[in-house]
A and B are shown apart, each in its own frame.
Chain A
Amino acid sequence: MLNKIWAFMILGGIICGVLTGKMEEISGAAIESAGDAITLCITMAGATALWTGLMEIARKSGLVERMTKGIAPFLRFLFPRIPEGHPAMEHISTNVIANVLGLGWACTPAGLKAMEALADLERERGNLEGIASPEMCTFLIFNISSLQLIPVNMIAYRSQYGSANPAGIIAPALLATLTSTLAAIAFCKLMDRGHHTGSMDGKPGSMDGKPGTMDAKSGSKGGKPGNMDDKPGSMDGKPGSKGGKMGIADGKAGRESI
């Protein structure tokens, strides 16, 4: 994805510059922006190192683990149908806490493992592969709703650009995050309720054969005619764009801890 975006920025910018006759400005901007990026990294390095240092203490002293366990009741509420002790739950809580604490590099691996474990769970349930289970939908929507407690990077950017109070956005950002997360939870609970009845009775028979008829999922009860086929095509997103996520800008946000 970044490949295309970047190509667009460079090529589109230059073509546009030719039309508007701004080649000189573009030359200057290219060189200057590269320098600005380094200046920014230097400012950011301090805040990032402070945070990662602090989080290392939190990890070693067992605080992170404690928080991970602490959110268990909440996660059980979100994912009532994941069996007790299933590995999916562990990966989900690690991912959520990493998100809350802004540990960008820790959330993606745990999140991917959580998705794999949820896929296993679907297999155990005998459901069709390749279709998102309600747990997967809930996990992703919840994850995307952003969970970060302190937007460390944003604070660093603000201080770099001379904000009078770089940290002043923490509380409003937290409130906004809380709003998006609550909306996410409400939505998932609503969709899940519709789904519940449908998938329960698909389970027993679906072990083998005739996947076509079984597909437990699709709300045989007529639960949700409309939403089933939400964007079948939307998934082709070339995850290859590694750099995309890195640590930089994962504006994730948090709540229910601490």
Chain B
Amino acid sequence: MTYVSNFIIPAVLFLVVAHGLLAKVKIYESFLKGASDGLKITVEIMPTLIGLMVGVGILRASGFFALLEQALAPVAALFGFPAQILTLLAVKLFSSSAATGLVLDVFATYGPDSYPGLITSIVMSCTETVFYTMSVYFLAAKVTKTRYTLAGALLSTVAGTMMGIFLARLA
């Protein structure tokens, strides 16, 4: 599995550059333009990240997380993972940048390669902000009756999460 992971980034790099070369695109100039757009994006998200990391930092320092984790520990123990992950999963349904704050908190506490760190890495990469996406998209279509969307979205999120936990345990 690690082998495949290590292979993907070089493969994408190779493919894109080779395709660009064959298509006679000015690849390096295009790269520079795209990269500078990327930098702008990073600058734009900076305030968001500051806001949320301060929020999470305060919650952690206040002992709130410790209390919450204590309360959730029995439930989390059922699934065999740290209570922090439960909070993270719940927050991710609503806001992915708020979840990012918690992800970083897990990494800082346990390390990204620990079991909780791996669950976090995998599960956060395979789930979406269910409620946020639904509200924005359905608003665009002026839909108020969302029928089975929520059920389907939650089902797929649960499926991805269980698979993610299973894989983290293997790794």
Asked if A and B are interacting partners, one says: yes
- A interface residues (Cβ-Cβ under 8 A, vs B): 1-2, 5-6, 9-10, 12-14, 16-17, 20, 22, 25-26, 28-30, 32-34, 36-38, 40-41, 44-45, 48-63, 105, 108, 111-113, 115-116, 118-119, 129-132, 136-137, 140-141, 143-146, 148-151, 153-154, 157-158, 160-177, 179-184, 187-188, 191, 227-232, 234-239, 241, 243-253, 258
- A1-B95 contact in complex given A130-B144, A227-B148, C-beta closer than 8 Å: yes
Which of B8-16, B69-77, B78-86 is the contact stretch? B8-16
* A45→B121 contact, CB < 8 A: no
Whether the Cβ atoms of A157 and B103 lie closer than 8 Å is yes
Whole-angstrom CA separation of A157 from B96 in the bound complex: 14
A44 to B171, CA, bound (A): 25
Q: Chain B residues in contact with chain A, CB under 8 A?
A: 1-2, 4-6, 8-9, 12-13, 15-17, 19-20, 22-23, 25-27, 30-39, 41-64, 67, 91-92, 94-100, 103-104, 107-108, 111-113, 117-118, 121-153, 155-157, 159-164, 167-168, 170-171
Q: Which residues of B contact A105 (CB under 8 A)?
A: 41
In the bound complex, do residue B62 and residue A191 qualify as a contact, i.e. CB atoms below 8 Å apart?
Answer: no
Q: Is the CB of A167 within 8 A of B5?
A: yes
Contact B153 A145 (CB under 8 A): yes
Q: Does A49 lie within 8 Å of B142, measured CB to CB?
A: no
Contacts of B161 in A (CB 8 A): 176, 180
In the bound complex, do residue A140 and residue B148 qualify as a contact, i.e. CB atoms below 8 Å apart? no
| Closest beta carbon of chain A to B169's beta carbon, Å | 10
Known: A41-B45, A54-B13, A61-B20. 16 other contacts (CB 8 A): A9-B56, A13-B58, A16-B59, A25-B61, A26-B61, A33-B56, A56-B30, A116-B140, A119-B143, A132-B146, A140-B153, A146-B128, A165-B113, A171-B1, A227-B151, A245-B132
Give the complex CA separation of A239 and B2 in angstroms: 38
Main secondary structure of the interface of A (DSSP, over half): helix
